Every structure is written in structure tokens, then in C-alpha cells.
Amino acid sequence: MSLLEVQGLEARYGLLSAVRGISFTVTKGEKLALVGANGAGKTTLLRTLAGVHPVARGRIVFDGADITSVSAHRRCASGIALVPEGRRLFPAMTVEENLLVARSARREGMWHLESVLEAFPQLKPKLKTLAGDLSGGQQQATAIARALMTNPRVLLLDEVSLGLSPLAVHAVYDSLGTLLKTKTAIVLVEQDLQRTLDVADRIICMLEGAIVAEGRSGEMTREQVVGHYFGTRPESTTQGATS
């Protein structure tokens, strides 16, 4: 049974439909990547799944329950966590305080302060540092660690490597290795296509708010994904293409 099911989802900014008729499922432990050019609707889709952007039409079902009108806080408490684009940490609070803030929505599970620090050892010496004083890579690590503190069943990761140096990206993905081996499902938005192909079990290509192709990552070539990314629609259609 799917853990997360999205049915005919639409999300808008005023008259603009940023997400249009999106349907897909995520199973327990699955790593799904959303790929598409700037403005394709990936961030809006993640925000809508997390409950921080309203659903204009369609349904979101999580673990068999309709959560379409459930608040972001309650979604988080039931196991959906978002690592937002731009990290959105509390800059005037320490790393430790940022991590502990997540306790109010915490589920039982393997992730607690000690285990997230094992996964993100670069944060250990920074626990008492203000989040605003961290490097970009350390901030991203803190944002992911904060989301893990809630023990999510689905982790929504938006633009993990955006604005980070190659070294920092490497460090963050090194730490994600532990997470990728767990049964936590991940919906990933990542501009680094090679990392996307390495990490994802399945890929959904989006264009102008809609799904234009989807398939298992091992069965989609880099060229096919790039073609859908730019909307050039390569001739060799991918598995399960919806248009």
C-alpha cells in the first residue's frame, strides 16, 4: 500500500496554477525525485504536501487518511517533514535550539539529538553556535537534522545543494547516506542531476506545473531526463509518461 498518495493536486498563486493535476504515489522507504526547470512547480508541490501552501483542488492521502485539509503542524506530527528551500532556520537561536524546536512535533523513532549528531558530525562542535553564523553547508545540515528530529515517515527535501560549495554538498550527501538506508521515504528536489539519479529510485519530470514523464531512475537515461527538464520531449519516451 502506498504511504503517500497524491490525487489530481492543484495549487495556485492567485490566478496562476503552479501545480496542475498532479497524481503520484510514494511507498514506504521509496526515494522519489522531482526534476524540472525553474518555475516547474516543484517547490510549490512540496510545500503543498507539507501543508504550508493550500490545496486548490485534489486530495492528499497519507497512510490511508485524507490529510488534504490537515494543518502543517499536524501533518508534521503524523510523519511528514519539510526541509524548505532556503533552510528557514531561526538565525538568532543556536544549532541545538533549532534542533530541539522540532521536539513539539516529534514522533517516536531512531532520530534524537545524539543520533542526528552521529549522522551530521559536522554539527557537533557547532551546537552552541547561532544558526545565523553557520556556513551554508552547516545550515543545510542543521535544517535536515531538524526535520529528522521529528522522525518523519516522509521527508520532503527541497534544493539540498542550492548555493553550497561542492565540498559542502559532498559533506551533506555523505551524511544523508545514513538516512537513505532507512525506511524513511524521501521526496527530493535537487538541481544536481547526477546526485538525483544516484539517490532516487524513481523520477518524476515536471514542466509548467504538470508531470510530463516518470520512471524508475535506472530505466531513464540522463539525456531523457534532461530533455524533459527543458521541455524538449525526447523521442524515446520514458516508462509511465503521462503526456
What residues make contact with ligand ATP under the rule CB under 6 A? 13, 16, 18, 36, 38-44
By the 8 A CB rule, do 199 and 227 touch?
A: no
Q: Which has the closest alpha carbon to 154: 240, 71, 77?
A: 77
Beta carbon of residue 166, minimum distance to ligand ATP (angstroms, whole number): 19
Beta carbon of residue 118, minimum distance to ligand ATP (angstroms, whole number): 31
Q: Pick between residue 50 and residue 102 the one whose CB is nearest to ligand ATP.
A: 50
**Residue 38, CB half-sphere, CA atoms under 13 Å: how many?**
1
Beta carbon of residue 54, minimum distance to ligand ATP (angstroms, whole number): 12
Beta carbon of residue 40, minimum distance to ligand ATP (angstroms, whole number): 4
Q: Which has the closest alpha carbon to 82: 17, 178, 7, 160?
A: 160
Q: Pick between residue 117 and residue 164 the one whose CB is nearest to ligand ATP.
A: 164
- Strands 65-66, 57-62: pairing kind: antiparallel
- Per the structure block, which three cell numbers stand in for 50? 507539507
Q: Pick between residue 19 and residue 116 the one whose CB is nearest to ligand ATP.
A: 19
Q: Pick between residue 80 and residue 189 the one whose CB is nearest to ligand ATP.
A: 189
By the 8 A CB rule, do 209 and 12 touch?
A: no
